[in-house]
Amino acid sequence: MSTVPPAPAEARRRPAREEVRRALLDAAARTFARQGIDGASLDDVAAAAGFTKGAVYSNFGSKEGLVAALVDDRVSAYLDLGLAAVENDPGATLAERARALGDRLTAATDEQHDWHLLFLELWQRTVRSGRTEGAFVQRRRELHAAVAGAVAAHAEQAGAELPLPATSMATLLMALSNGLAIERLVEPGSVPDDLMGQVLALVVQAGPVAGTGADQH
């Protein structure tokens, strides 16, 4: 009596929950960026990831849950990327760190094209709704606080005085990064690879602005 040989271990293996979540988040980023959050269905996201809609519900509960998880994932990745860019050389000056950070964030604009499109849609939805809470707003606040803390820490480590308070520097950094990313997406050649790094280096090399309380981190 013939028997059917067992399937290879690779074929029998079910993807781990974290692998499924990762695939769904990546698929959501691509799908929402191309179709819009409201224009894309959970079926679209699931199909792009190679799963059924049930996988989306079991991992994120709802479309809003998926969007919230995607925001958390991409904002965390953005922060980690920025921190890694300035931690390679503890002996670097603050201007050198600023230049390295700017160059890395500019490169990320090209690497994370889908996230920037999604960011613009999330920003638009938030502004139009007038909401002051929600996953997008909350994670932006957390990112701002983390960036301000990192700026203050790096200034202290480099023995440099910031030209503006660390919180203001964080606002400037985030606004500059987002604004240049928009320009680069529309017309890549209008934003040289080293422009943001040059601007940040010039900013931190400037002396403290009178009346700003720049020493208050």
The pLDDT value given to residue 216: 46
What are the two backbone dihedrals, phi and then psi, of residue 42, each rounded to the nearest 5 degrees?
Answer: -65, -30
pLDDT in tens, the chain (217 residues): 455 555 554 445 566 888 999 999 999 999 998 899 999 999 999 999 999 999 999 999 999 999 999 989 888 888 888 888 888 677 889 999 999 999 998 988 888 888 888 888 888 888 888 777 788 888 899 999 999 999 999 999 888 899 999 999 999 999 999 999 999 988 988 999 999 999 999 999 886 766 555 544 4
| CA–CA distance, 64 with 12 (Å, rounded to integer) | 32
The pLDDT value given to residue 207: 67
Give the CA count within 13 Å in the CB-facing half-sphere of 209. Answer: 9
The pLDDT value given to residue 203: 93
The pLDDT value given to residue 63: 92
- Exposure string for 17-52, b = 16+ CB within 10 A, e = fewer: eeebbebbbebbbbbbbeeebeebebebbbebbebe
pTM of the model: 0.80
The pLDDT value given to residue 13: 58
Cα first-last separation, the chain = 79
| CA–CA distance, 86 with 101 (Å, rounded to integer) | 6
Tokens for 127, please give them: 């502004």
